[in-house]
Structure formats: structure tokens, C-alpha cells
Structure 1
Amino acid sequence: MKFNWGTGIVIAFIAFISFIMYFVINMSTNDKYNHELVTEDYYKQEVKFQEDINKQNNAKNLAHNLEINKTNDGLVIQFPEEMDVTKISGKVFLYRPSDKQSDFETPISLSTHNLLIPDTRLSDGRWNIKVDWQYKNINYLFKEDIQY
């Protein structure tokens, strides 16, 4: 068999395809590479997207929206001063993009206008905060990404 440029091109194509197939199979089967969706029920949440937009618009129409401040004790979520704290309810979701096990949810239970999320529950890095709350039967949604 004679080795010419045509044979070299065929060998190069076969080597390139083998190289790509190795990486595709390696990435698909190796547990080190995590291929999770952002949430388990991603498609159900997509249907509720317009509802979330309406809640965010309600929050934008407030005179004072929520504020998130970092303190030595943890994160403080400050609710508007003009609202009665006994009529505020809802949940706070904290999502850690780099570590699914760190995600948690806490109910809103207020005695003052501040809700403290303890420093012990938060590790350094990026957090996505989602506060889904109600006041006088009006739903509000506040989202923010922070570096802790």
C-alpha cells in the first residue's frame, strides 16, 4: 500500500473523529462532570414564569423594596418599614450555583422588619436569593445575586 496525501487526509479525519468521540463519551459517563439542571422541576417552573413576572412588577411598584445587607451575623433581609410585619408571609430560597447541597429554603417569620439568615448557613461564594412573599393578599417576588 502506498501512503499518499489522500491516505493522510483519511487518517487525519479518523484521528479527529476518534478524539472528539473520546471526549464526548468521557464527559457523558464521568461522575466528576455534573450535568444537573438548575432545579429538579425546571419545566414546571417555566410554566409559572409569567406569574413570577407579575410578582416582580408588584415589587417594583412598592415605594421601598426589600434590601439585603451583609453583617457579621449573616445576611439581613429588610422589609419595607411601612408594612405591618404580622401580615407578611412567604419563603426565602437561597440557591448556590456551585453546590446543590448548600441550597436551602426558610419560611418568613418576622417580629421586626428584618429577617436574619445566620452566617453558619452561608459559605463564601455566589448565592442567588429569591424572596417570594405576600402582604395583604398581594404577591411579591424579589431576586438578587450576591457574593458572600
Structure 2
Amino acid sequence: MKINWGAGITIAIIGFMSFIMYFVIKMSTDKKYSYDLVTEKYYQQELKFQNQINAEKNASELSENINIEQSIQGLIVNFPEGLEYSKIEGKVFLYRPSNKQLDFEIPISISTKYLLVPEKSLLGGRWNIMVIWSYKNKEYLFKKELNL
């Protein structure tokens, strides 16, 4: 059987479209390729965005910002020097982009310069850390991406 140019081009286009559709269906149904949204309540978070911008600006105006160190015990979140650490309130939120079941939050309750995030809570890979804290009724925000 002889195939002319028109039939060959039609077969090639159908084959290519089938190939693309196979990968679209495979990627959208396979759990291995699923990625979670940053938050389910996207629009409510958007309304709070200006407060986050103000808190980040307050943090950038500090003479010394929060510092994150990795140690054998876990992550050490160092707060700026010269503060009354017992008056710091807030939370540390760790977000795992690849798996929302690993996300967790730790309330800030310290009497020393640092807060320790235990190593057993952290799996290797990429983490986004967000420290939302207040001191003397002024809000601060620190964000950082970590690869452990």
C-alpha cells in the first residue's frame, strides 16, 4: 500500500497529538506528579498581603534581622540582640512545597535568643520558613527558602 503526502502528514499529526495527550493525562492523574497549592484560602491570604508587606518593611529596618542556622539538633532561629525575648510573640511556619502534609507551625515562646526547630520534624529537601513575630506591638516578618 502506498501512502501519499497528505495521509503521511495526517498520520504524523494524529500520532503527535496522541503522544501529547498521553503525557497530559499521565501527569494529571499520577499522584507522583501532584503539587499542592501554597494555600487553599488564596483570596483571604491576598487581603492580608499589605500587612505582610508592612511587617517585612519593619523587619528590614531592624539593625539585625533574624538569622537561621542549621545544626545537628535542627534549625536554630536566632532573634536580634538586645530584645526582651520573653516579650516576643508569634509563630514559625515551615512550608514544604512538594507535600502539604509535612507543613507545620511552632508558636514562639522563648526566654533566650533562639528558638530550636527539632531535626526530627524536618525531612531533607526544600523548605520555606516564615517567622511572623511581634515585639512591643510592632509586627515583623521574616521569610527564607532552605534546602536541607
TM > 0.5 fold call: yes
Q: Structure 1, unaligned stretches of length 5 or more?
A: none
Give distance in 2, aligned partners of 1:3 and 1:70. 65
1:94 aligns with 2:94: yes
Q: Structure 2, unaligned stretches of length 5 or more?
A: none
Give distance in 2, aligned partners of 1:89 and 1:122. 23
| Helix, strand or coil at the partner of 1:117 | strand
Instruction: Summarize the Cα distance change of 1:147–1:104 in structure 2 as closer, same or farther, 3 Å threshold.
Output: same
| Helix, strand or coil at the partner of 2:64 | coil
2:140 matched residue in structure 1: 140
What is the aligned-residue RMSD (CA, Å)? 1.7
| Helix, strand or coil at the partner of 1:32 | helix
1:30 matched residue in structure 2: 30
TM-score, length basis structure 2? 0.90
1:79 matched residue in structure 2: 79
Give distance in 2, aligned partners of 1:35 and 1:74. 26
The Cα of 1:120 is off from its aligned counterpart by 1.5
The Cα of 1:138 is off from its aligned counterpart by 0.6
Q: 1:90-137 CA distances to partner (integer Å, 9 max, x unpaired)?
A: 000011223322211000001112111111111222221100001111
1:63 aligns with 2:63: yes
TM-score, length basis structure 1? 0.90
- Write the letter of the residue equivalent to 1:47: L
The 4+ residue runs of structure 1 with deviation greater than 3 A are none
- Write the letter of the residue equivalent to 2:91: K
